[in-house]
């Protein structure tokens, strides 16, 4: 490198340093407030509580979530959780940021060469300094790292205990099977997510050990046949990637994570996405009694026992009010509810249908049986 190049590089570094000094993160906030002011980053989140959607939104600060894979889906997932004010995030990945990742969301060109977990934690810490971050630049599929992965799942929370949820955002089946094994063994709930290689479909799946199907209950063909994924990759050929599809999948993943943690709405067990038809299939996947994972089979037995011992709720069916009852058991239900119709609608609108007014028939004149000729003859004889 020449002297001129060195001077130019020094000048660039000085400019970057000046930008970093000017962009200081905000001070930490001890308590979430619902006060509606421009300086409160939590006012719109706390509005969920005021509107009755969430009972206690501030409880989100007590939760710890592990995000495995900080790529196209995982990085956006981590950012959403950070902006929502999650208590702590554990980030696992062993890849580095590349310019080839710039078609996706989150990462920026100046972060090229940094590990994804380091680049992510730096950015996220600036967005919300109230969130705690723990990063692990490692491959969880190796024996040594797998044991460390399980240890951090069990002791990585804010209180030194188990994490509250595991989110799988990896892009290969080997890592998914490692997460599946760890969560089955430790009986931890987790969400699996993925985007197809053609970038126009994706899915999320909630996996509750023993209650729903685990990833090994119905494995993909590659996993079931034992094919090495690395042998399927060809030089010069890469999977397609769309930031739109990854953003949609990450949004669904975080939305269900919030519903699971804060207990509002219903958590979707499986949600797919097909971008070609904008089709969103949902389904419930039951566990496989003959699953290859022995921990999954044991969890199924435990869950079945819990259902057997759980008290059964009695369903009370309300009967309709009986208007009339005879000794023969014949009953009549009141259906004579008067229908009142207001035909005064706004200009430019018309009723889809109208209720016809009841037709009242006038009683016919009584006939006494005397004809007109007989009546005339009677008058003449008088």
β-pairing verdict for 190-195 and 201-207: antiparallel
CA max distance for the chain: 148
The per-residue DSSP string of 328-359 comes to: TS-EEE---PPP-------TT---S--PPPPP
* Alpha carbon distance 65, 89 (integer Å): 5
Residue 65, beta-bridge partner list: 89, 165
Strands (E), the chain: 64-68, 88-93, 132-137, 165-168, 190-195, 201-207, 270-274, 322-325, 331-333
Look at 71-80, 259-268, 289-298, 352-361 and tell me which has the smallest mean pLDDT.
352-361
What domains lie within the chain, and their CATH numbers? Answer: 41-309 (3.40.50.720)
Q: What is the pLDDT of residue 12?
A: 79
Q: What is the pLDDT of residue 342?
A: 57
* Alpha carbon distance 106, 79 (integer Å): 8
Structure tokens at 331: 């009953």
Instruction: Give yes or no: 84 in active site.
Output: no
pLDDT tens across 139-157, in order?
999 999 999 999 999 999 9
Look at 206-220, 236-250, 346-360 and tell me which has the smallest mean pLDDT.
346-360
pLDDT at 268 exceeding the cut of 80: yes
Higher pLDDT, 321 or 249: 249
Strand order in the sheet with 88-93: 132-137, 88-93, 64-68, 165-168, 190-195, 201-207, 270-274
β-pairing verdict for 64-68 and 165-168: parallel
* Alpha carbon distance 42, 31 (integer Å): 10
* Alpha carbon distance 211, 302 (integer Å): 9
Look at 98-102, 156-160, 181-185 and tell me which has the smallest mean pLDDT.
98-102
pLDDT at 359 exceeding the cut of 90: no
Q: Which of 84, 214, 238, 291 is catalytic?
A: 238
pLDDT at 345 exceeding the cut of 60: no
Whole-prediction pTM: 0.76
pLDDT at 355 exceeding the cut of 60: no
Calculate the average pLDDT of the chain. 86
pLDDT tens across 48-72, in order?
999 999 999 999 999 999 999 999 9
């Amino acid at each position: 490198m020449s002297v001129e190049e060195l001077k130019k590089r020094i000048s660039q570094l000085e400019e970057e340093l000046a930008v970093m000094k000017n962009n200081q993160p905000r001070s930490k906030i001890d308590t979430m407030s619902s006060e509606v002011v421009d300086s409160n980053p939590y006012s719109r989140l706390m509005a969920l509580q005021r509107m009755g959607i969430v009972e206690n939104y501030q409880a989100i600060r007590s939760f710890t979530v592990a995000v495995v894979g900080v790529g196209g889906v995982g990085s956006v997932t981590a950012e959403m959780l950070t902006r929502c004010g999650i208590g702590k995030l554990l980030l696992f990945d062993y890849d580095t940021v590349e310019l080839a990742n710039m078609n996706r969301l989150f990462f920026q060109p100046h972060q090229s060469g940094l590990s994804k977990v380091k680049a992510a934690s730096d950015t996220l810490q600036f967005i919300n300094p109230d969130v705690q971050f723990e990063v692990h630049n490692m491959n969880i599929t190796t024996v040594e790292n797998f044991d460390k992965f399980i240890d951090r799942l069990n002791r990585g929370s804010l209180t030194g205990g188990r994490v509250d949820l595991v989110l799988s955002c990896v892009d290969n089946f080997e890592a998914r099977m490692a997460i599946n094994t760890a969560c089955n063994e430790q009986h931890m709930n987790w969400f699996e997510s993925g985007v197809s290689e053609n970038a126009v479909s994706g899915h999320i799946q909630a996996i509750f050990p023993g209650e729903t199907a685990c990833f090994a209950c119905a494995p993909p063909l590659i996993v079931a046949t034992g094919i090495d994924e690395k042998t399927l990759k060809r030089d010069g050929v890469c999977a397609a990637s769309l930031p739109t599809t990854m953003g949609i999948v990450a949004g669904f993943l975080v939305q269900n994570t919030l519903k699971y943690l804060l207990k509002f709405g219903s958590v979707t067990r499986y949600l797919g996405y097909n971008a070609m038809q904008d089709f969103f299939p949902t389904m419930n996947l039951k566990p496989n009694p003959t699953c290859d994972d022995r921990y999954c089979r044991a969890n199924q037995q435990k869950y079945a026992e819990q259902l057997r011992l759980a008290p059964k709720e009695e369903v009370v069916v309300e009967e309709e009010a009986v208007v009339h009852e005879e000794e023969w058991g014949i009953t009549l239900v009141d259906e004579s509810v008067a229908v009142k119709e207001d035909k005064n609608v706004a200009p430019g609108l018309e009723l889809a249908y109208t209720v016809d007014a009841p037709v009242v028939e006038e009683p016919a004149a009584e006939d006494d049986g005397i004809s007109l000729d007989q009546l005339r003859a009677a008058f003449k004889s008088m």
